[in-house]
Amino acid sequence: MNNRRVVVTGLGAVTPIGNNLQEYWSGLLSGKNGVELITKFDTTNFDTKFAAEVKDFKPELYVDFKNLKRIDNFSVYALASATQAMEDAGFASGSYDPDRFGVIFGSGIGGLKSLENQFLIYYNDNSPKKISPFFVTMMIADIAGGHISIKFGLKGPNYSTTSACATSSHAIADAFMLIQRGTADAMICGGAEAAATELGIGGFGAMRAISTWNDRFKEASRPFDKDRNGFVLGEGSGALILEEYEHAVKRGAKIYAEISGIGLTGDAFHMTAPDPEGDGAVRAMKECIRDAGIDLNKIDYINAHGTSTPLNDKTETKAIKTVFGKHAYELAISSVKSMTGHLLGAAGAIEAVATILAVKNDIIPPTINLDTPDPECDLFYTPKVAIKRKVDYAISNTFGFGGHNASLLFKKIEV
């Protein structure tokens, strides 16, 4: 069976630098910094007092007031980005076969705030009868996809992926494969996260994964810089509409790009640290290039995982050099986490959106806060400002705790 071509026809984004696709892309190109002091809880006793929160978001645009009390923020963000993507793709009117349209939407953590709230209700009253009947469906990580499928009546494949920071890249990869093999004609895929909570900040702080630059918080997310000391926690959601090429052409859809290769690997090394040689990342990038059937020298841009942690950035750099050799020094690379922070399970989706728009518009978003490059990070990371550059092929990398690696390859659409 010949694999069917898969294209991207809709995008949506709720991020710390913009609550829709246009705001997000404009924010990326202008180097907008989404990191601020935390507003959602009292940080007095916390070592880290900042994060990249979603700002000025209007949930009532996507969820009615009654249901807002029954849905965790991560699901609200998911519904928002998915609604935007459906409208962007021209599907908002319901002009589709629901049996051939599915949803794969992931979250690395799920409804953490709902878990915190309901535990406190139980703990303070010592009574399970006080626990909300909506608690489980607010908390579980798969529920965002359920909300999306119900809202749009989508009856195709419907499930969630959970693989830490690689979560939504795996959702995109699975959606790609289902369309390729003919199980569906269109899929909403992506991820959502709302873990900038007491336990989220406290937990990542306890493992010393996040930055503690409270006096320089706007500069704290600094991928590939020698002074980096941890990532900045972010929140939000990204959604993509993937569609079989002929199906998209037949209905006259606009097409952003084609997804032509995926690479999924495991490190089998450590729960949090990457393989020091970047083995899993190397194999993921090689596999997505092999899957696309192109020469590696055709890759123009890599949207790096680029977390701003001491280990990831130098290991990812080493992996890129291992895969591309001399061509590594000709690539444009950037990390949008320098602006958005790290959205955990939603990172792959919003970064895939950035990669797709780079391919569509021939513009590379920057890596801000890159003041003094680490000597071990000696590639071109598009420091400070966006650049115009022809981008025919681009890779988006995501690597998660547990050794989960995913690389997605997007290319300019060929009619």
CA Rg value for the chain: 20
| Residue carrying the six token digits 């000597």 | 375
What CA–CA distance (Å, rounded) separates 313 from 276? 11
> Among residues 147, 170, 305, 404, which one is catalytic?
305
Evaluated on CA atoms 289, 290, 292, 297, the torsion sign reads: positive
Told to judge if 165 belongs to the known catalytic residues of this protein, a careful annotator would answer yes
Positions of E strands within 194-287? 236-244, 257-266
| Residue carrying the six token digits 């990070």 | 377
CA distances from 261 to 172, 188, 258, 294 (A): 11, 18, 9, 9
> Among residues 170, 247, 342, 404, which one is catalytic?
342
Told to judge if 305 belongs to the known catalytic residues of this protein, a careful annotator would answer yes
Take residue 181 and report the two structure tokens written for it.
């093999």
Contact 189, 210 (CB under 8 A): no
> Among residues 165, 189, 288, 377, which one is catalytic?
165
User: Which secondary-structure segment (H or E) carries 23?
Assistant: helix 21-29
Task: Name the 3-class secondary structure at 161.
Answer: coil
Please enumerate in sequence order all residues whose Cβ is within 8 A of that of 237, keeping only pairs 6 or more positions apart, or say none: 12, 13, 14, 74, 77, 78, 80, 81, 82, 144, 190, 191, 192, 193, 346, 349, 350
Question: Phi then psi for 16, rounded to 5 degrees?
Answer: -65, -10
Q: Is 60 exposed, middle or buried (0-12, 13-18, 19+ CB in 10 A)?
A: exposed
**Which residues belong to the active site?**
165, 305, 342
